[in-house]
Amino acid sequence: MASPPTPSGSRPALGHVNLMADTLIANATPDDLRAIIRSMVSSATPGIAAALNAAARERLSQTAYTGIPTPPSSAGSSPREADISAFPLLTPYGPTPHMQELLRRARALYGSGMGFASLGLLAHAARSTLGLRWDAEGEEQLTDILALLDADMAQAVQSCKEEVDSGRVHSWEEASFAVSDLRAALRECEADCASRARRQMVCSGEKEFAFERAMISLNYWEVPVLRSRCNEIKTR
């Protein structure tokens, strides 16, 4: 179908999605859209990556991407926070779909430059390991998912540092709390592993602290210390 004729001398309205582009977006498969976006970002077109991240942050800020993901109730709304424990992230045999969904949300946040917003989700994921007894059949799956979680936390911290450097921290109090909460979660996990080391366990992996990379990423890094750095950037 041909595009509608454009009046001579007129210009397309800024901020409006072209009809054909909207048709493509509405009908392309998720894999096709990912490939298209990756191709655009890698094209080195000036400003396109920054525009993508800015649009992503605006969208994610408007949705419930920072909340702990739980299955919807029969009425279509999310369960109360008190019901979160009814939807475990981990079992003795491996991760649940809720863990995969949580990590997907966290990656979307820190990948778009909202590192601090992702830390609460990742701290919750780390705490899901506390007191978990492993089954031998699930050892490999649990080891793999915890390695991924460790890498995600390290990348989220890096995203936080870039958020500070770019001067996009909106609330230092919230940012400081998020970092402190993640650090506390990691220390709780470290203490839990130390207590396991003194007991006989079915799986050797239960006794090993799984979040070394994340802990190293947080060492010697405090948000309040960086406040002057952000103020310096803003006054340049």
- Contact between 203 and 139 under an 8 Å Cβ cutoff? The reply is yes
pLDDT by residue (tens digit) across 192-232?
998 887 777 668 788 889 999 999 999 877 765 455 455 55
pLDDT by residue (tens digit) across 38-69?
998 888 778 888 888 888 888 888 886 777 77
User: What is d(CA 210, CA 185) in angstroms, rounded to the nearest whole number?
Assistant: 12
In a domain, 81, yes or no: no
How many domains does one find in the chain? Answer: 1
In a domain, 144, yes or no: yes
Per-residue confidence band for 108, with pLDDT thresholds at 50, 70 and 90: very high
In a domain, 72, yes or no: no
User: What is d(CA 205, CA 90) in angstroms, rounded to the nearest whole number?
Assistant: 15
* Least confident span in 164-168, 178-182, 212-216: 164-168
In a domain, 193, yes or no: yes
In a domain, 128, yes or no: yes
Q: Give the rounded percent of residues in the chain with a pLDDT score beyond 70.
A: 78
Per-residue confidence band for 183, with pLDDT thresholds at 50, 70 and 90: very high
- Contact between 162 and 117 under an 8 Å Cβ cutoff? The reply is no
Q: Residue 126 pLDDT > 60, yes or no?
A: yes
Give the total residue count for the chain.
236
